């Protein structure tokens, strides 16, 4: 990864009930062993949110996520490595995204399942660069991007921000002579202009509105299964503002409605057990705005389920 990561990992610590596998928690298994199958990587950035006129504070998200995850109990042994953080220095967002991409590509090509902890949703373009640059995708594997989000993030602004990453991906894919295979679950109609819906239609984006994401609606499973069937490699990105504000208050733009946690969890389980997921990132956790660590705990639970499901398949 060279100099892509510019902030060393901190030691994980948490509750300890004693020795033995029956007391295993995340902080017991996350270390510095490069042979681990699972890698955690942080992306400390507020710059994209600031440019998008949102509420800054997500740069501290990786720390809060690690802290919330550390004491969660594991159902069985696994090995994980924390490689540190890619930190955006000053306003140099584009440089940070490029470095994130380099770090992700290196980890994927080393055979690791990667979890990137954000950071604003500008994380998505860096994560995409990493997956698109991996050996599997460069060798012809079909990449699919699944976004759990209230927003399309397809803005046409000239300056990249947390509102532009998927537009940037589409433009990058077009330069390669490809179409971006992009699907979004949880779109809030009042939070997206007609121009954004028109852009989504023009780019062939598949989406499911938050109104249609109830826990018992079979349309959710059909949507996810259709997406999974059409690609070989999956990048899953979770913008925490897809969840109801009561569940995830610590985000730049809390949801007035949102997708139930039960639905989001079911989608994550389905994707993680598909055998196609290579990278997941979590975006928009803002600890300064959180209440009783609700958002951090919810995000950590999703990461916990995705990683343990992935290792059990």
Known binding-site residue numbers for Mn(2+): 121, 149, 151, 153, 239, 241
Q: Are 229 and 269 in contact (CB under 8 A)?
A: no
In terms of Cα–Cα distance, which of 41, 42, 40, 37 is closest to 112? 37
Binding residues: 121, 149, 151, 153, 239, 241
92 vs 190: CA distance, rounded Å: 32
DSSP designation for 247 = T
Q: What is the DSSP string of 167-223?
A: HHHHHHHHHTT----EEEEEE-GGGS-HHHHHHHHHTT-EEEEGGG--TT-HHHHHH
Distance set, CA 23 to CA 19, 56, 272, 311 (Å) = 6, 37, 25, 19
In terms of Cα–Cα distance, which of 169, 213, 164 is closest to 188? 213
Q: Are 183 and 144 in contact (CB under 8 A)?
A: yes
């Amino acid at each position: 990864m060279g100099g892509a990561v510019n902030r060393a990992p901190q030691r994980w610590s948490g509750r300890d009930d004693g020795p033995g596998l029956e007391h295993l928690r995340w902080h017991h298994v996350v270390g510095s062993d490069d042979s681990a199958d699972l890698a955690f990587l942080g992306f400390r950035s507020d710059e994209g949110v600031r440019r998008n006129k949102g509420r800054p504070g997500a740069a501290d998200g990786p720390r809060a996520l690690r802290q919330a995850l550390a004491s969660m109990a594991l159902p069985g042994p696994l090995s994980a490595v924390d490689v540190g953080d890619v930190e955006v220095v000053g306003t140099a967002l584009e440089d940070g995204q490029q470095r994130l991409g380099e770090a992700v590509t290196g980890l994927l090509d080393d055979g690791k399942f990667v979890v990137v902890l954000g950071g604003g949703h500008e994380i998505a373009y860096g994560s995409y660069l990493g997956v698109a640059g991996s050996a599997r995708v460069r060798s012809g594997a079909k990449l699919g991007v699944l976004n759990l989000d209230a927003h399309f993030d397809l803005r046409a602004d000239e300056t990249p921000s947390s509102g532009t990453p998927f537009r940037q991906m589409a433009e990058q894919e077009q330069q390669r002579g490809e179409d971006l295979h992009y699907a979004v679950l949880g779109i809030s109609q009042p939070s997206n202009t007609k121009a954004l819906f028109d852009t989504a239609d023009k780019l062939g984006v598949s989406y499911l509105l938050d109104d249609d994401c109830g826990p018992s609606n079979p349309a959710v499973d059909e949507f996810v299964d259709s997406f999974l069937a059409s690609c070989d490699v999956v990048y899953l990105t979770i913008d925490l503002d897809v969840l109801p504000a009561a569940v995830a208050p610590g985000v730049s733009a809390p949801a007035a409605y949102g997708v139930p946690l039960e639905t989001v969890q079911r989608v994550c389980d389905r994707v993680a057990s598909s055998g196609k997921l290579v990278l997941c990132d979590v975006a928009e956790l803002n600890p300064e705005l959180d209440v009783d660590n609700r958002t951090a705990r919810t995000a950590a639970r999703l990461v916990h389920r995705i990683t343990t499901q992935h290792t059990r398949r």
